Structure 1
Amino acid sequence: MLNFLDYFSWSTVFFIVLGVSVCSAFLMLIPRIPVNYVRVHIGIIALPPIVALLALVSNNGSVIIGPWHFDSLSWLWSTFVLTIGLIVQRYAVHYLLGDRSYQKYFTLLTFTTVADSLAWLSDDLRLLLIGWGVTLLGLTLLIGLRKEWKVARHASKISARYFAISWAIMLIAIVWIEQVTGHWELSQVLSQNSLAQLNAVEKTCINLLLLLSTIIPAAQWPFQRWLLDSVVAPTPISAVMHAGIVNAGSIMLTRFAPLFNGDAVQVVLLVLSSISVLIGTGIMLVQVDYKRQLVGSTIAQMGFMLIECALGAYLAAITHAVLHGLFKSTLFLQAASAAQQHKPVAHKSHVSSSIWIIIGGGLGLLLGIAFWLTSPDEGYQLVSALILGWSVALAWTQLVAFGTGHIGRIAGMILFAGAAIVFKTVHIVFEKLLHDAIPSGIQQSISMGILLLVILLVTSAIGTWLVRKNSKTSFVIYLWLIRLGEPKKKLVESHPKYLTQLLSQGGNVH
């Protein structure tokens, strides 16, 4: 009873401040509201993530109140999404100042993040469907909000098509689930009695539908085009998109884990995600446009996240989604500083750098082996060990091996140690907070992990060999990746034509 009352009070306060935030967003659509009201709005939308964080810290277990499901996972995701929305809107106060749709951006950003948080707080599948649909609709409108720009309108239409297909597929899956189980409540659907009503064919077909509705907004192969075309959106919109919406596939598959676990669809997800990792990494390496590099990175990272789901490691997938969201939103908000002028060229000792690189590689290898030995029978641990070892070696190379002089390397070591401490702390905290809310899943066998590892390593080795050989095949792959990541003709303008039209009409251009 105490847990119920605690969550009832937290949920009541949360919905109140969330409602106030939505009302504040509506106010900005009124022409008489001054532009300076945006700063007041920022203060108002700071309340929901604070309340969600306090509810998360209280950690009183899982409680279902009406159509809502309150547990540590739903509170964590609400805290994460609403915090990202708050940071981005605060950043946009100056970044978007002077835009014709200035106040509309804040309204749509608020609606989108609120709908995203409510979607995964709901226990009723109909509310989940509505919340996720509003989220995708809000994102579509944000991409094309600069209506006078033909390129933005076209990118918005492309995203709308992909999102509509994804939402329609989810609708079919949810209606199918209700027809078989007789329940709209997710908690009832995932009960043993309800799952027993699904035969093998029905379960596989429903999981395939859920898989498709997940990988489309996650920009996984072959549905990555919409995310590549969305780079025309303002940088704050890209930050929200990559941090709070693209990575929602992890929580979707986590919520449906009892239905998804043990099904052959996990293998399908594993294959598609592995292809996405390779393609996303290739796009990131060949692109010269900074935002498209970030898009390629997101495609690859979402691939790794879904691989974790396919292997039954849902805690790792949620942790990955949150950390990637924070990291990627930071990179987007710093996109303007990507081009540095008059950067001094540092003359480094090649021999000295090579020694430090070898040290970093050895350190990554040792840590990867040590991590795998903690649970050598789980297929996910082998893949995770590879990612950890590679990340350690890369971080060491960037922070220490390429440091300038002794001071630069010492500073790099301090940053490296700090990042390691933060990573370990976050992992421990998430494991403590989410151990009751996230299903352990059916861990895939070590053979599945070895197979995935071999595919990734062999493909990477072949790609590296082809590039170094400068063969005809390597040039074909290189050009194919460039073409895959480049925008179509409708998304390119030699100069912003809509600005010319505004000037010819005597309008003000900010």
Structure 2
Amino acid sequence: MQMHEVMFAAWLGAWAVVAASAAVLWLRPSPKPHVRLHVRLLWLPVAAACAGVMAGRSGVLVGPWRADALGWLMALYVAALGGVIQHFSVRYLHGDRAYPRYFSLLTWTTGAAALTWMSDDLRLLALCWALMSLGLVGLVALKREWAPARAVAVSMAKRFSLGVLAVAAAAVWLGMAGGSWRLPAALAHARALPGWEREALCGLLLVAALIQAGQWPFQRWLLESAVTPTPVSAVMHAGLVNAGGLLLARMSPLFNVGGTLPHMALLLLAWLSVLIGTGISLVHVDYKRQLVASTMAQMGLMLVQCALSAYGAAVVHLVFHGLFKATLFLRSGSVVPRPQRQWGLAAAPSARWFAVAAAMGAATAVLYWAVTPQEPARWLSAMFLGAGAALAWRYLSALKEGRWLGFAVLAALAALAELARTGLAGLVRAALAPAQAPPVVPAVAAGLLAAGAVTLWALAVSPTSQAFVRLYLWLIHLGEPRRAAIEPHPRYLAAYAEEAGLG
């Protein structure tokens, strides 16, 4: 066996060990020490994937699997994320009735997610996609004695079933039409398909990606997922909603020949999701709901990058967003006020500070774009980075002390982030087919950005207008869960007390 095959076999063996450990936890609920042992075993696939990232950058076929740069990166990302979250869950979920089964389902779900991106067989990819979706629904349904959790699990099951059917139909269609179940061969044959078939296949994949990413009009399951325990929310928002963008990246050769319609449909729906998600996160005061809505917006941006054929940028985006969002969920307790020293705040910033912030943002955007202007959708990344720099400088101006230290820290972190982005982009570039969006798509994207900016400015300068009030109330209503997904009084706790003789 070659070295790459040995490394892949070691990675599969590591996942087999942790899957067997998860089965023991499921069948024979174990005390806390056994859970801790299981969590330690999770670092075996992390170590194997890390070795694969460092040494296995070229695509290697091992049976129905393909170990390429993108697959190894996702394997490392998913395994490390799952290990950290389950380590956090050892204490967080302690005392829950389904305590060991959370670890079992978390392990199987993250394992299915990792295997999905190592699949070279269309049937295997569809199967792993279905197992990943089933595991996510199962995690929500574990608290079945709570009515809102049951309602949300049913809602997720309906939408994910549609996504699974779409992926399965696309896989069977591609395999039958291309005469091969191998992913590269089937995608290469897609060029010879009639135009309506290519667009129909792209449509099926778009439906699956939009459902998985919680995009409009399928966003309801994501907005109601706040009922899940924090560790489940972390793995959901950091590792599983990203699968929609990865699916489109894997299938990028099909979209290259799919015509303008799939790109335009994805761009419009994703941009609408960005606006809705951002609006909901701004008007709601519940911290977890704000995080959920921001995930909807960030996944929309990732899909906008896919619509512009910037798949490498989308993969880097989902990795950074996942790490950031997992940290926010696991650190959500830090938003509780504590009696500690606060930074001193200065008076309201003057007009000069606004001008300086705008200049800083513009300079950052131009500098970022000038480095490699030929990269797909580089201008889009430059615009958002410039807006972020301007906003950061605007908030730094409110500090009486530490202002310049904060600026230096932000500049250093930005430089490190760009180095990490460049490294990740170089890692996945070889695994992604070259792609170019139809010329009309970037033009429409620029028009949407300009129209959105003008509209938001017009609403911001007149916060008492009827249009602003209507939009504000509509966003609040849109972000609220259904009646079945909330419970004013936790009745299941009373049922626990009655069973224990405490009622």
TM norm structure 2: 0.95
Pair 454,82 (structure 1): closer, same or farther in 2 beyond 3 Å: same
Aligned to 1:307: 304
1:121-146 CA distances to partner (integer Å, 9 max, x unpaired)? Answer: 01011111111111110100101211
Which residue is 2:53 aligned to? Answer: 56
1:134 corresponds in structure 2 to: 131
TM-aligned CA distance change 1:345 to 1:413, over 3 Å: closer
Alignment pair present for 1:261 and 2:256: yes
State the SS of the aligned residue for 2:66: strand
Change (3 A) 1:32 1:389: closer
Code of the aligned partner of 2:494: T
Q: CA deviation at 1:450?
A: 4.0
Q: 1:162 Cα deviation (Å)?
A: 0.7
The count of aligned residue pairs is 500
Q: 1:403 aligns with which of 399, 405, 422?
A: 399
Q: 2:76 aligns with which of 67, 74, 79?
A: 79
Instruction: Answer yes or no: is the 8 Å Cα contact 2:122–2:172 preserved in 1.
Output: no
3-state SS of the aligned residue for 1:64?
strand
**Which residue of 1 is the match for residue 362 of structure 2?**
365
Q: Secondary structure at the match of 1:29?
A: helix
Cα deviation, residue 378, structure 1: 6.6
Counterpart of 1:248 in structure 2 is: 243
Of 454, 459, 462, the residue aligned with 2:452 is 459
Looking at structure 1, the residues matched to 444 and 368 of structure 2 have their Cα atoms a distance apart, in angstroms, of 19
Match of 1:504 in 2: 498
Contact 1:403-1:412 within 8 A present in 2 as well: no
Relative to structure 1, is the Cα distance of residues 451 and 376 closer, same or farther in structure 2, using a 3 angstrom cutoff? Answer: farther
- Structure 2 unaligned spans of 5+: none
| 1:164-179 matches, cutoff 5 A | 164-179=161-176
CA distance in 1, matches of 2:230, 2:362: 37
- Find out whether 1:95 has 2:92 as its counterpart: yes
- The aligned counterpart of 1:104 is 101
Contact 2:312–2:425 under 8 Å retained in 1 = yes
Alpha-carbon deviation of 1:488? 1.1
* Aligned Cα root-mean-square deviation (Å): 2.0
Report the Cα distance in structure 1 between the residues aligned to 2:53 and 2:160, rounded to whole angstroms.
31
Larger deviation: 106-115 or 34-43? 34-43
Candidates 67, 70, 84, aligned match of 1:70: 67
Matched, 1:338 2:332: no
Aligned to 1:449: 442
Please tell me the residue identity of whatever aligns with 1:83.
A
Pick from 463, 469, 485: which aligns with 2:479?
485
Deviations 1:282-317 (A, max 9, x none): 011011111110111111111110111111111100
What residue identity is the alignment partner of 1:421?
A
Moved more, 463-472 or 473-482: 463-472
Indicate the residue corresponding to 1:231 in structure 2: 226
For the 8 Å contact 1:129–1:170, the answer to whether it is kept is yes
CA distance in 2, matches of 1:26, 1:256: 33
Q: Which moved more, 1:421-430 or 1:219-228?
A: 421-430
Unaligned runs of 5+ in 1: none
Q: Is the 8 A contact 2:343 2:399 kept in 1?
A: no
The aligned counterpart of 2:420 is 426
CA distance in structure 2 between the aligned counterparts of 1:381 and 1:30, rounded to whole angstroms:
50
1-structure distance, mates of 2:35, 2:355: 52
Residue in 2 that maps onto 1:283? 280
Alignment match of 1:472 (pick from 466, 469, 478): 466
C-alpha distance in 1 between matches for 2:349 and 2:59: 55
Q: Which letter does structure 2 place at the counterpart of 1:202?
A: E
Q: Secondary structure at the match of 1:25?
A: helix
Contact 1:382/1:450 (8 A) holds in 2: no
Residue of structure 2 equivalent to 1:382? 379
Partner SS for 2:377: helix
Partners of 1:33 and 1:132 lie apart in 2 by: 29
- Between stretches 452-461 and 301-310, larger displacement belongs to 452-461
The CA distance in 1 between the partners of 2:64 and 2:32, in whole Å, is: 37
- 1:396–1:416 Cα contact (<8 Å) kept: no
TM-score, normalised to structure 1, is 0.94
Question: Where does residue 197 of structure 1 map in the other structure?
Answer: 192
Amino acid of the residue matched to residue 70 of structure 1? A
Letter in 1 for 2:67: F
